Structure formats: C-alpha cells, structure tokens
C-alpha cells in the first residue's frame, strides 16, 4: 500500500484548521458573553462543553483517513494500525490507574509529569499506526493548539474568567507567564497533541477501512 499522499499537506489541513479556529473564537465569545454553560462551560479543562475543538478530532481524523484512502493511499495493515492506535490511547488511562494505585494525587506535580511523559510515549506509538496520517494529524494538532495557546495567554494576562485562564484544582498562586506555561504550554503541546494524533488515527483508520471497502465494491 502507498504511504505518501499526493495532496499537499497545507491544503489538506487548511479547511479543518480554519474551522477549528472559528470554533475556538466562538467558544471564547460565548464564555465572555456568558452564554449557555452547557455549550460554553467556563470550568477548568473545559467542563465537557459541547462547543469545543476536542470533538473536531473525531470528525477531522475520519475525514483525513477517508480523503487519503479515496486518493489511493491507505494504511499498510488496518488491523495492526488500529491496534497500535488503541494501545497508544489506552496508555494514559492506564497511567492514571497506576498513579492512583500508588497513592499519588491526580493533582500532584508528580502525576502531571507522568502524564506528560506518557503522552510523548503514546504519541510515538500512535504515529506508527499509520505514519502518513500521523504526519497530517501532527500538523493539524499544531494548527489547532497554537491559537488556543495564544488565547490562553491573553486570557491569563487579562484575567478574563474563562476556561482558558481557569486553573486546575490545587494549583498554587503563580505569576501569569508561569501559570500560562504550566496550564497552557505544557499540556497543549503534549497531552493535547497526543490526543489529536491518537484519537484522530483511530477514527481515520476506521474511515479508511470503510472507504477502502467501498472502493473495492
């Protein structure tokens, strides 16, 4: 099977990146204007708000996989790729169980470090699921998360009272830039990149299998 994709990477991710940016700005406006908390939660971490970019990973992961497959570029082996992606996804929940079993607080610095390291390990595993798709998802992840980082910086400096500047429970008082580094830069550039690549790969490989079956039919 081919692993490269003929469509230039910037053009492949441009539309999804713009849609993701629009959702990020909509989320910010909704929180600043106190719109429905079910749609625009201000809770730390996002509170599972229905308006958010994490849900888009499922959609665009599948879209990338479908588009690449319809162009004739499929994963080498669907079963192996899907297995690796699921393994990479399961790593962080497993670390959560392990740290709890060891008596580590989920809000402690040690647990935070474990999750960050685990996210890089999981990312490395996930990239092997379908390397060509993984490269697309890495590019999309940065296109999605860098604007969030900038919004978080402005929100923290301005104390806007949104989820973008809401600290996690137990976070001590710290200078704005230090706070941005710990709740913004580190998680956005580690855990959220892992999430985007791994979850996107799962949905992309499933979409590829469906698209490939349709082409054969």
Please give the Cα distance from 104 to 100 (Å, whole number). Answer: 5
**The pLDDT value given to residue 5:** 44
Residue linked to tokens 């053009």: 11
**The pLDDT value given to residue 156:** 97
Q: Does residue 69 belong to any structural domain of this protein?
A: yes
Q: Does residue 58 belong to any structural domain of this protein?
A: yes
Q: Does residue 133 belong to any structural domain of this protein?
A: yes
Q: Does residue 3 belong to any structural domain of this protein?
A: no
Handedness of CA 158, 53, 34, 44 (dihedral sign): negative
Read off the pTM. 0.92
Cα dist. 20→39, 135, 152 in Å? 16, 18, 16
Q: Does residue 15 belong to any structural domain of this protein?
A: yes
Report whether 138 contacts 197 (CB < 8 A): yes
Cα dist. 164→31, 114, 183 in Å? 10, 23, 9
- Residue 55's contacts (CB-CB under 8 Å, 6 or more residues apart) are none
**The pLDDT value given to residue 75:** 83
Q: Does residue 33 belong to any structural domain of this protein?
A: yes
Q: Does residue 138 belong to any structural domain of this protein?
A: yes
Half-sphere exposure of 81 (CA within 13 A, CB side): 27
**What is the total count of domains within the chain?**
1
**The pLDDT value given to residue 31:** 97
**The pLDDT value given to residue 184:** 96
Residue linked to tokens 């749609």: 39
Q: Does residue 209 belong to any structural domain of this protein?
A: yes
Helices (H), the chain: 9-32, 56-70, 78-101, 109-126, 131-158, 176-180, 186-188, 191-216
Tens place of pLDDT for every residue, the chain, 217 residues?
Answer: 344 445 678 889 999 999 999 999 999 999 999 999 999 999 998 888 999 999 999 999 999 999 999 888 888 889 999 999 999 999 999 999 999 999 988 888 889 999 999 999 999 999 999 999 999 999 999 999 999 999 999 999 999 999 999 998 888 899 999 999 999 999 999 999 999 999 999 999 999 999 877 555 4
Residue-number span of the structural domain to which 144 is assigned: 9-216
């Amino acid at each position: 099977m081919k692993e490269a994709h003929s469509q230039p990477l910037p053009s492949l991710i441009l539309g999804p990146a713009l849609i993701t940016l629009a959702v990020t700005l909509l989320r910010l406006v909704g929180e600043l204007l106190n719109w429905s908390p079910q749609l625009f939660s201000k809770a730390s971490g996002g509170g599972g708000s229905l308006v958010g970019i994490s849900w888009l990973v499922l959609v665009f992961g599948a879209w990338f996989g479908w588009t690449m497959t319809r162009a004739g570029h499929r994963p080498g082996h669907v079963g192996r790729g899907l297995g690796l992606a699921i393994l990479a996804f399961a790593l962080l929940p497993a670390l959560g169980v392990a740290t709890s079993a060891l008596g580590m607080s989920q809000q402690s610095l040690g647990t935070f470090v474990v999750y960050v390291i685990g996210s890089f390990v999981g990312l490395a595993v996930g990239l092997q699921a379908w390397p060509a798709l993984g490269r697309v998802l890495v590019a999309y992840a940065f296109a999605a998360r860098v604007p969030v980082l900038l919004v978080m910086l402005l929100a923290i400096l301005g104390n806007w009272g949104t989820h973008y500047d809401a600290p996690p429970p137990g976070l001590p008082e710290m200078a704005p830039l230090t706070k941005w580094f710990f709740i913004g830069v580190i998680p956005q550039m580690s855990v959220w990149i892992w999430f985007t690549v791994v979850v996107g790969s799962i949905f992309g490989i499933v979409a590829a299998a469906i698209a490939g079956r349709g082409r054969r039919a």
